[in-house]
Structure 1
Amino acid sequence: MRLTRRGVCTLAVAVVLIALGLVAGYPLLVTLGAIAVGAVVAALGVAGRKPRVEVIRELFPDRVERDGRAVITLRVHNPGTRRQSGFTAVDRVGEDRVTVAVRPLAAGAEQPYMNELPTGRRGRHDVGPLTLFRADALGLGRSELFLGEMATLWVYPRTHPVGAVIGGLPLHHHDGEATETSPRGSLDIREVRPYVPGDEVRHLHWKATARTGQLMIRDYADPHQPQFTVLLDDRHEMTAPEFEEAVELAASLVVAAAHADHRCRLVTPGGVDVDTTSGWDAVQRYLEELCVVTRTEDAGLPLLPATLARAGGGTFVVISSAVTVTPDDRAALVGMRPRYGDMILVVGAHGAEPGVPGVRVLRAANAVDAIRQWQTVIA
């Protein structure tokens, strides 16, 4: 139990009033001071008892898109034999607060409370700790009980329906050791390796088996599996609104590509480099990365990171700002152009158009506008 700032001020004023009344001989001041002291004492009596309840907190779902619906449920149970007075429960969600007014509970009673969480800011937000507090009507006193359990709310960037672009690797037939970037599939021989239980018997390589004396299997690869690379500009020159729109566009593109079984890669100048196979696991990995990505504070970073020095194949998409694409960046894009089947640069509507020979440039006011133009590109 503690006095609030208002309670401390009220008590100080009461002491002054009583002292002045006694010194100056004014009974009215003494009476007012006594009333103020009585209010503080009453506040201590009302708010002095901490809530004695059991609270179960449930967060569902714990992963939503920005501005999506996430609900927190509090199940408040009174395990005692006496009636519990009402109190207030406050949960922190990042920098926001969610407040629930809990009504009085009879002995042994339980009451659920449901409230929506703020999901307007992208990011990984800690939910908690839950604080239960009781205060008097005048706000003079306050008692608090902290419940230390924490939860995590992932607020992903919004994704919009968008078509996946088709971009494959050059057709190649090889027999022997595979490179790290060779996609696995079922058309061309990636390598010949020892048989492992579970492999297709029809893929046995009989000549290699006879030569080595052990069962050897053909490991096939699909040279046509589409490749899709997205470069998200996270340099600090990007304004916050532009960056949020860029993240939203990047999320829409990589999620669509991963769902379409395309091999994807997401890179940023600031050091993010995610290269996974397709499918739901890849979608969640990309969304988690884009959930927490922020603009880097490093100055003077080039648009193209060193990790792309030897990359190539398929479609390469750059999401940036017309203002931040420098002449050096344009020269680097021109140098990389021959290594990709297609290259697309998406920039904001402000600033001069960064013309890059051989590169299609889309100028968009926001992510939705960029996706609308994207649909015409892949049509």
Structure 2
Amino acid sequence: MTRAVRVLGVDDFAWKKRFTYGTILVDLERRKIIDVLPDRESATVEAWLKEHPEVEFVSRDRGKDFTKAATMGAPQAQQVVDRFHVVKNLSEVLQEILGHCRAEIRQGEAAVSEFEKAAEERARRLPTVATWQQRTPAHVKKAHQARQASRDDRYKQMTTLRAQGLTQREVAKRMGMSERAVRTWLKRGAAPTNERHFRRRSVFDPYAAYVLERWQDGIHEARQLYEEIQAQGFSGTVRIVQRFVQALRDKPEKITLAPATGADRFSSKTATWLFIRDPKQLTKQKQAELELICQRSEMARKTYALTQQFMSMLRLRRGQDFELWLSAVEASSIPQLRRFAQGLLKDKNAVVAGLTLSYSNGPIEAQVHKLKLVKRSMYGRAKLPLLRQRLLHAA
């Protein structure tokens, strides 16, 4: 006879990743699998819940299907949003915000700023013709724009350091990148993008203006210039380019720079985890980097304060403070955080329960790993009836 389930955990698993999924149901008090469903449709989960009116709590992610199923199938149960998924959503928002903050954070580098301004005045990168592609979803486009803004600023910093006379190895060490990545970016002449660059095909003379422009940008290596114009269709030899560059060569005055700081190596992905982690667990070096970021960018400082307020509420299970946090976010001028808060507000009761109760989807993830192990041991023959029997009646 099946034992009554009071606290239920719901999650999906892949029959075939990106194509078909099933649902796993776990008793969170006993930490045992109690059923496996053939799909993750809300109607399927709803029907199972209606057959088990004894369920008092349902732990789930923020997916719409499970939310609808729990609401319709177990109206008597308290829904609990899994904390891991909430933090994951928050980290995606933080990465978008910090990607746009990189240029602002690096503006404090006094020894480099004058060269950057001069470089901006001399060289404005021309737009490239993008390949025809399907329309990108809005959230993917925003995330791409944030990452692209960070990459563009990294390339701007890279060319400025080269103009000051630093070698590629020195640039890589200062920026916390690999020498190979620096060499590749400089060879491309731009930060990596998903766009395709049009390549012209002609004799050398039409490339003279391009070579002069690249020279003013700080690219003084004949071999690199040759490779760039060769990629655009130049059919001459490298010797021709060397002769032209030799007439322009001039040793640039090497500038004494301040020691590299966290701003030089700033990455929105790395900074996101600095914002989320408990400050007491950070090393002195990481605390210094975090303090530098907050000092350089007002938006980053406000974002960090709101993030730590939310994470403290989550760690201490103080769901009663959720309204105060919502008010603070609403009063801020950070649209990304306000969108995140509005999304949580739509599922307020379950979010507050997740911030208050101890239940989470952690034990479910362990059972999903067990399910995958059993499924793979059956060499693809794990159809639902056999897989269900092996999981439910395992010793």
Which range, TM-score by smaller chain? under 0.3
TM-score, with normalisation over the residues of structure 2?
Answer: 0.24
TM-score, with normalisation over the residues of structure 1?
Answer: 0.25
Greater helix share, structure number: 2
* Larger Rg belongs to: 1
Higher relative contact order (CA 8 A, sep 6+): 2
Greater strand share, structure number: 1
